[in-house]
Structure 1
Amino acid sequence: MARPMCHGLLIAALAALTAGAAAAPAKAADNKAAPRLEQRAPTAEERDSFDEFFRARNAAQPHRPWGAAPLFAPAFEIERQRGQPWRVVARVDSAPRRSAPDLCRQIRSSFVYDAAKPKGERWGDSAEAPQWYVWLAQANVPCQAARYTVLMDPAVPPADAVALLWQHRELLNRARLLFAGNSQCARQRALTFRLAALKPAAATAGAPVMFGMVFESDRDTTATVDVRKHRGEYVAWNVSCSG
């Protein structure tokens, strides 16, 4: 009886090895087929042409977010899939300014480069909407660039943004009780999180005003805490996680 059993085990082992050998080339082929993302720094021509474009735009539209105040140097984002044309984007942050008594705001605008257009016409507005970054203001102190800012959807009222910024640590701690009831969040319950974004959230039964607080962890994961507003109070209502 021992011989048939060993023979069966040998057949199973050979089958497993055969299956693994067959799967390995397929995996290698998949990795080979996946396009590689390439990045590079801007060329001198791209930098110079953007500076020229931006000076003209700033002079023509001083009322826009980037106008009428000193600006930071543009940040370039240049990448492509191998074999494809480069996608060149320049991002510019407006000078910090107070958008509410307790709130500072900075607006990031994006511009796209098209090398196929004639010189002097190669830069234009990106399809991306300008992004608002906010942080709490200090009393009687002009707004200055902050190390940590929070991306804010313009649909979030400034008063609610201020309240959520003040209470975000407390709301996160309360939400940790909700992590255990969500299979995607349970393993992230004890991670260290930083508030990254504020946005409106879909209303739920009995909670017509909701906000989403997006937290990023030190393990490259994300947790979104849905917050219910009722009679001026904010309550952690639900949580979802990714990563």
Structure 2
Amino acid sequence: MAAPPAPVTDKEQAAFFDFYSASHATGGLLRPQFAVTSVKGRRHVSATVDGPAQRAVLPLCRQAREAFDYDAKARRWSAAAPKQLVWVHHGSRCDAQPETPIELLAPLPDMEMLVLIQQHPTLLNNARLLMAGNTSCAPARSRGYRLRALDRARDGLPVLVFENDIGEEARIAVRKSRNELVAWSAVCTAGGR
């Protein structure tokens, strides 16, 4: 079993703060989250910086997340594509981000996002029947899944992106039937992202 990669170094952190402050007006205390992983046997260092959480449609919250990667050979940081995160808050404010916020992969109206998030457990349970009839989904249909992202399919239907405990992904397209949402199709992939 391989040893875990070494944690982020003081020099890598200092280089990040220099890089970030050169292109951003930090104004306040910057609290990046650093992560060190092993990618194909090589140590990979990344950082994320979350913007302020904003209330969308009650009780929906939205937040921008910037991601950065460190090139160890060049000893410099670069920006990756920014992300949008959403979640439903249970208090009166959006300042407490959940442990696993939902990534927004395609633009969706706020009300549609809110309804999808609120109904995702029911939609997942209904989709398990669809998963049973799909050869790529059938082996993992009974596993536990968490909602990882919201997306839009090519045909325009909203998609709930779930991930199970072994990194497999299930994409459940949702359609409106009269006044309720129904799971319309399921596509599964091994290894998720």
TM-score normalized by the length of structure 2: 0.80
Provide the residue aligned with 1:23 in structure 2. none
Structure 2 gap segments, 5+ residues each: none
CA drift at 1:80: 5.8
Q: Is the 8 A contact 1:75 1:92 kept in 2?
A: no
Q: Which has the higher contact order (CA 8 A, sep 6+)?
A: 2
Provide the residue aligned with 2:185 in structure 1. 238
Please identify which structure carries the higher strand content: 2
Q: 1:130 aligns with which of 82, 86, 94?
A: 82
- The correspondence of residues 26-45 of structure 1 with structure 2, limited to 5 A, is 39-45=5-11
Rounded to whole Å, the distance in 2 between the matches of 1:142 and 1:87 is 31
Rounded to whole Å, the distance in 2 between the matches of 1:110 and 1:72 is 13
Q: Is the 8 A contact 2:49 2:66 kept in 1?
A: yes
Q: CA 1:89–1:175 in structure 2 vs 1: closer, same or farther (change >3 Å)?
A: same
Aligned pairs, how many?
A: 189
Q: 1:72 aligns with which of 31, 34, 38?
A: 31
1:182 maps onto 2:134 in alignment: yes
CA drift at 1:165: 0.2
TM-score normalized by the length of structure 1: 0.65
Rounded to whole Å, the distance in 1 between the matches of 2:73 and 2:59 is 46
- The correspondence of residues 68-217 of structure 1 with structure 2, limited to 5 A, is 71-77=30-36, 79=38, 81=40, 88-114=45-71, 122-126=76-80, 129-138=81-90, 140-203=92-155, 209-217=156-164
Q: Which consecutive aligned stretches of 4+ in structure 1 deviate over 4 angstroms post-superposition? A: 67-71, 78-82, 114-117
Q: 1:218 aligns with which of 144, 165, 169?
A: 165
> Who wins on radius of gyration, i.e. which is larger?
1
CA drift at 1:147: 1.9
Rounded to whole Å, the distance in 2 between the matches of 1:148 and 1:79 is 21
Rounded to whole Å, the distance in 2 between the matches of 1:56 and 1:186 is 50
Provide the residue aligned with 1:206 in structure 2. none
RMSD: 3.0
Please identify which structure carries the higher helix content: 1
- C-alpha deviations, 1:79-111, integer Å up to 9, x for none? 5656x8x65432222232223332112222122
Identity %: 34
Counterpart amino acid of residue 147 in structure 2 = L
Q: Is the 8 A contact 1:71 1:94 kept in 2?
A: no
CA drift at 1:225: 0.8
The 3-state SS of whatever aligns with 1:168 is helix
Q: Is the 8 A contact 1:40 1:79 kept in 2?
A: no
- C-alpha deviations, 1:26-82, integer Å up to 9, x for none? xxxxxxxxxx9x8432222111121233234331xxxxxxx6675533313465656
